[in-house]
Structure 1
Amino acid sequence: MASAGQAGTGLPAGSHRDPALQALVDRVVADPNPNPGAFLLARHGLTDRFGAAGAADRATGSPMAPDLKFRAGSVTKTFTATVVLQLVAEHRVRLDDTVQSLLPDQVRTDNALSGAPITVRQLLNHTSGLYDYIDGLLPHFRSIDQYWPREQLIGIGLAQPRYFPAPGTRFRYSNTNFLLLDLIVERVTDHDLRTNLERRIFNPLGLRDTSYPLAQTTIDGAHVHGYADVSPLLPNAPEATRFDVTAFSPSEAGASGALVTTAADTARFYRALLQGRLLPSALLRAMLTDTVPTTGSAPPAVAYGLGMYVYATACGLAYGHGGSAPGYLTFALNSRDGRDQLVAHTNWNSFVDTGIDKDFWAAFQQGYCSHPG
C-alpha cells in the first residue's frame, strides 16, 4: 500500500499555505479532538490556498496534505446525480418516471416499493421515504473488508417500512435512494455506473486521481488513512476508538458514497458542473433550485436539491455536499458560479453518535468565507 508520504503534485499550480486556514485546521487536530489530521483547500477566483495539519497515516507519521487521495463518502451523490440528469437531458429518463416502471422486478408485495409510486426526482431529493439501508447494516457485518452486493443493500432498504407513506411530502435522507438510481442508470445505459462516471465525468474533466472502486479495499497511490471508533463492531480491537479503517470496503456505500478522489479533483468537478460544462442550463438550475427544506439536518444545510445540498453560510448561499465514510469526513462548498470553493477533510469519523465535531464544522464554514489577505 502506498504511504501518505508519497504526495504527488495534485494541487493547482501556485497554491500556497494560508495562515488563516492553517489556524483553523490546527484547532481541528488539537487535543482533545480525536482527529489525526485535517486539511482545507480554498479557491477564490484564481487564488488557491490551503491549510493542513496532523497525520495522514498514524503508523508512519506521514503528514496530512491536501493533494492526497481520500474516500469522499456522500460527495459521490452529486456525481451520481449528474449522470442521472445527463440521461434526463438525453431523453432516456424523465424526472417524473416512477421507480416501479423503471425497475418493475424490484417491486414485491412484501417490500417498500409496493406502496405509492416513487419518482426519480424523489430519489434524487430524498423525499421517497424509503428506509436508509445504512441503519440496518450492523446485523449483517462480518468484517471490515467484506464485500456488500448492491442487491443485498437494496434488499435491506426495501425490507423495512417507509419513513412516511406518501412520497414527495418531506425530506428524509436515505442512501437507498442512490442505490436505486445506480440500478436505473445501469438498466437505461446497459453499462455500470463506473463506466458512466468514467465516460461522462472523470475522463472529460481530466479527473486522473478520481475513481469509483467497489471490490478494491486498498487505495492506490498516495492517500489519507481513515480512522474510526470501531468499538460497536470490533470491541476487542487495539485502539478501538482510533482504529485504521482505510480497508473498509467501499461496496458498503456504492453509488451513495464509494468515490475515491482528491481535493483538487473534487473542486474541478464542482466548478465544471456549476459553470455549465456537464448539464444543460435548465437541468443545472433544477438541480440547484428544485429543493426541499432539510428538516432535521445540522446547520449550515438548509435545503436539498437534486443530489446537491444548499448551505446558508455567513457569506451567502453555497452549494455542494458533505461526505461521511468510515474513517473520513469531507465537505465541498461552492458559490453558484463555481469561482469560490472549499474542500474540507478530516480523517476521523465515528461509527457511533458522538455529536458534532465543533472545530471541524467551524473550520469548513469559516474557511469557505475567508478570503486572501
Structure 2
Amino acid sequence: MRKSTRTLLAAALVVGVAAGPALTPAFAAEPPLAVSQSSQQRSPDLSAVIAGLPRADATAALVRVGGTEGSWQGSAGVHDLETSAPADPAARFRAGSVTKVFTAATVLQLAAEGRIDLDRPARAYLPDLIPGRYARVTVRQLLNHTHGIPAADLPGETVEEWYENRFVVHTPEELVRSATARPREFRPGTKQHYLNIGYTIAGLIVERVTGDSYEHQVERRILRPLGLRDTYFPGADPEIAGPYNHGYQTMRLDDGTTGLRDVSVWGTTDGWAAGDLVSTTADLERFTRVLFKGGVVRGPLLEEMFTIPKVPDLTSGDPAAYSAGLSMKRLGGREVWGKTGGRWGYNTAIASTRDGARTLVYSVNSTDAKGQQMNRTALGLMVAAYGLPD
C-alpha cells in the first residue's frame, strides 16, 4: 500500500493505532497460518489482508462483512503466542471507544422519552460535579465532543508507565472532578476535540435521570433486546470473561529490550462509558445492522448520530469529524459511518454505509494499539471493504 494512501486514510478516520518497532527475528519468521472463512460472497482482498498473521503489527484478526451486497467472515492468526493455536473466531475482545456508540444510543433513547434534554446544560443534571465554569456545556455537546472540557489526569505518560498502573481503579466521579478542575479548552460549541470525558459525564447523567446504573440501562435497552449475549461491561475486573484471543503490545520489557508483552489482563475503569465494553464480532455486527435500520434509536433523534457539527477540529483545524457516537468518511465514493476503538492489544471498528448495503466489523489484536497512526492490518481491512478515500 502506498505510504500516501495509508497516511491519508489514517488521518481521515482519526484512529489511534500506530506502527510499533519491528519484532524479534524469531517471531517475524513464524510461518503464516491458514485463513479460516465462510461466506456467501468471496472477498479475496479481505482474505489477503489477514493472511499471514501473526506478523509484526498484529497477532490475530476477526472480520465480518455484511449487508445487502453480500457477506463474508474471516479469521486469522493465533489464540496466543505460546501455543500458536488458531485464533478463535467467536472470541470476545475489548471494543474500546465503540462503547461510545452504545452510550450515545442510550442517551438518545432517554431524550426520546423526554427524560434528557439535549440542549439542557449538563450541570443541570449533575450540579454537584459540574462547576460553574462549565455551566453552558449541553448534553448534545458532550456527545459530539464540542464541550471544551479537557481530559482527566491519569497516571503515566508512556505505555510502560500505563502498564504499571493497569490495575488502578478509577471512578467516573473522580475522572470528572479531575477534568473539570482545569480551565476549559475552548468556548463550548465552537470547536471539536475528541476525548473520553464527555461520555463519562454522559454515563453519569444516564445514572442520575434513571436512578439506575449506566451498565444496567445499556443492558436493558440494547444488549438484552438485541440478544447481544456475549457483550458486557467488565467493571473493575481486569480480565476478559469467557474465550478471548490474547492481546499483545510492543513495549520496553524488564530486561531493557523492546518486544511483545501480553496485555490481555488490564483494567478499563479509566474508560467506563467511553471505552470499557467487551464484545464479539457477531454481536457488534448485529448491533450495527439494527442501529442503522433505526431499531435502536428511533425517529428523528437517530439523525443526531448522522449530524456532524460545523466547527473546526481543535488540533488540526480541519472540519469536525464526529457526530453523536459516530464519525463519517467518504470511501470508494460512498459515505461510510462508524466508530473505531482501541485498548492495549486490541483495535476494533464498526462501520456501515447509511443504507446498510455494506457493514464491516473487525477486531485486530494489534501490537501497536492506541498510537498515532492506523494499524496496518486495520487500515487494509477498511480499504478492502470500502475502497480508498475520495
Q: Which amino acid aligns with 1:182?
A: G
> Is 2:146 aligned against 1:124?
no
Task: Judge which range, 74-83 or 320-329, deviates more.
Answer: 320-329
In structure 2, C-alpha distance between the alignment counterparts of 1:176 and 1:143, rounded to whole Å:
19
SS of the residue 2:179 aligns to:
helix
1:217 to 235, 238, 241: 238
* Aligned counterpart, 2:362: 344
Do residues 161 (structure 1) and 188 (structure 2) align? no
In the alignment, is the contact (CA less than 8 A) between 2:351 and 2:359 conserved in 1? yes
1:21 aligns with 2:46: yes
1:183-205 Cα deviation digits (max 9, x unpaired): 10000000111100110000000
Q: Letter of the aligned partner of 2:44 in structure 1? A: P
1:194-232 CA distance string (max 9 Å, x none): 10011000000000111011112221222122112343x
Distance of 1:294 and 1:66 partners within structure 2: 40
Residues of 2 paired with 1:241 and 1:16: CA distance?
Answer: 38
Which residue number corresponds to residue 100 of structure 2? 77
Q: Counterpart in 2 of 1:103?
A: 126
Looking at structure 2, the residues matched to 12 and 189 of structure 1 have their Cα atoms a distance apart, in angstroms, of 43
Q: After TM superposition, give the deviation of residue 322 of structure 1 in Å.
A: 0.5
Ranges in structure 2 where 5+ consecutive residues have no aligned partner: 1-35
User: Does the 8 A contact of 1:324 with 1:349 survive in 2?
Assistant: no
| Alignment partner, residue 365 of structure 1 | 383
Q: Taking structure 1 as reference, are residues 280 and 297 closer, same or farther at Cα in structure 2, changes over 3 Å only?
A: farther
Cα deviation per residue 1:87-115 (whole Å; 9 max; x = unaligned)? 0000001110101111100134xxxx524
1:55 aligns to 2:74 (yes or no): no
Match of 2:33 in 1: none
Summarize the alignment of residues 298-313 of structure 1 with structure 2, pairs less than 5 Å apart: 303-313=321-331
Q: TM-score, normalised by structure 2?
A: 0.81
Task: Give the distance between the partners of 2:81 and 2:256, measured in 1 at CA.
Answer: 14
**Alpha-carbon distance in structure 1 between the residues aligned to 2:239 and 2:169:** 13
Q: 1:172 to 1:114 in 2, by over 3 A?
A: same
State the Cα deviation string for residues 294-346 of structure 1 (Å, max 9, x = none). Answer: 73799xx9721111111221140111100011211111111112341001221
> Does the C-alpha gap of structure 1 residues 345 and 368 become closer, same or farther in structure 2, counting only changes over 3 Å?
farther
Q: Deviations over 1:36-81 (max 9, x none)?
A: 1223211132732123222232222232243211100000000000
Structure 2 residue corresponding to 1:181, chosen from 184, 202, 205: 202
Q: CA 1:302 to 1:242, structure 2 compared with 1: closer, same or farther past 3 Å?
A: farther
Q: How far apart are the structure 2 equivalents of 1:196 and 1:260?
A: 16
Counterparts of 1:274-285 in structure 2 under 5 Å? Answer: 274-285=292-303
**In 2, Cα distance between the equivalents of 1:329 and 1:82?**
21
Do the aligned residues in 1 keep the contact of 2:80 with 2:246 (CA within 8 Å)?
yes
Structure 2 residue aligned with 1:198, among 203, 211, 219?
219
Q: Structure 1's 313 and 137: CA in aligned 2 closer, same or farther, altered over 3 A?
A: farther
Aligned pair in 2 of structure 1 residues 337, 214: CA closer, same or farther (>3 Å)? same
Q: Do the aligned partners of 2:342 and 2:369 also contact (CA within 8 Å) in 1?
A: no
Q: 2:57 aligns with which of 29, 34, 56?
A: 34
The number of residue pairs the alignment matches comes to: 348
Q: Percent identity of the aligned residues? A: 33
Q: Is the 8 A contact 1:250 1:258 kept in 2?
A: yes
Say whether the 8 Å CA contact 1:227–1:246 is kept in structure 2. Answer: yes
Post-superposition Cα deviations, 1:122-153, rounded to whole Å, max 9, x if no partner, equal 000000111122x6442795532332222222
Q: Is the 8 A contact 1:228 1:243 kept in 2?
A: yes
- Work out the CA distance in 2 between the residues paired with 1:117 and 1:256: 22
Unpaired stretches in structure 1, ≥5 consecutive residues = 1-10
Cα drift, residue 366 of structure 1: 1.9
Aligned counterparts of 1:347 and 1:167: Cα–Cα separation in 2: 36
154-163 or 192-201, which deviates more: 154-163
Letter in 1 for 2:148: G
Distance 1:242 1:162, change over 3 A: farther
Higher mean displacement: 88-97 or 38-47: 38-47
Partner of 2:10: none
- Cα deviation, residue 368, structure 1: 3.6
Q: d(CA) in 1 for partners of 2:209 and 2:227? A: 25
Greater relative contact order (Cα < 8 A, sep 6+)? 2
> Is the contact between residue 40 and residue 364 of structure 1 (CA under 8 Å) also seen in structure 2?
no
